[in-house]
Amino acid sequence: MIDAEGTITAVDQEFAIVRMDEAGCGRCHEEGGCGGHNLGKMFCSTPHTFRILNPEKGVVGERVRVLVPAGSVRISALYAYGLPLLSLFFGAICGSTLAGEIGSMAGAMLCLLATWFGLWRFQSSQVQDKRLQPIIHKIHTLRT
């Protein structure tokens, strides 16, 4: 599991809007760290807010620890980056064999657009899967 800390800024039924304090997990200094925190600081200086499951019923202003399920980031990256890239190459190769350079460009674009549409449909069907969503795990401050 990947975890990060944030502050609840709003509550919406079973979800909370959480402003994250840092970009990435903040484990850049540890062995195997990816450096995402450093890149996040460089490119995104403003805090990000996310709609996260709130089973612990946190309230506005509370500090929370957010858990992201193991493997969900890797799978998402594979779908978001790997699959479109493979489809682009596949379309270019198929188009090239059928119609040369113009076919290569057309095939690449058609396969890329088809993949994006397919991923959009897949994402729409998976958005309610709670096993893949981040979740508030721990509340750090006591309610008053």
pLDDT digits (tens, 9 = 90+) for 86-99: 999 999 999 999 99
Written in H, E and C, the secondary structure of 38-99 is HHHHHHCCCCCEEEEECCCCCCCCCEEEEEECCCHHHHHHHHHHHHHHHHHHHHHHHHHHHH
pLDDT digits (tens, 9 = 90+) for 21-32: 765 555 555 665
Q: Using CB atoms within 10 Å of the CB of residue 52, give its burial: 0 to 12 exposed, 13 to 18 middle, 19+ buried.
A: buried
Partnered with residue 11 across adjacent β-strands are 16
| Counts of helices then strands in the chain (DSSP H, E) | 3, 5
The whole-angstrom distance between residue 81's C-alpha and the CA centroid of its chain comes to 12
- Cβ atoms of 67 and 60 closer than 8 Å: no
Q: What is the pTM of this model?
A: 0.59
Above pLDDT 70, what percent of the chain?
74
Phi, psi (deg, nearest 5) at residue 7:
-125, 135
Give 8's DSSP letter.
E
Local confidence band at 106 (pLDDT 50, 70, 90 cut-offs) = very high
**Top-confidence range, 38-47, 63-72, 76-85:** 76-85
In the prediction, which pLDDT does 92 show?
A: 96
Instruction: Give the Cα separation of 3 and 120 in Å (integer).
Output: 27
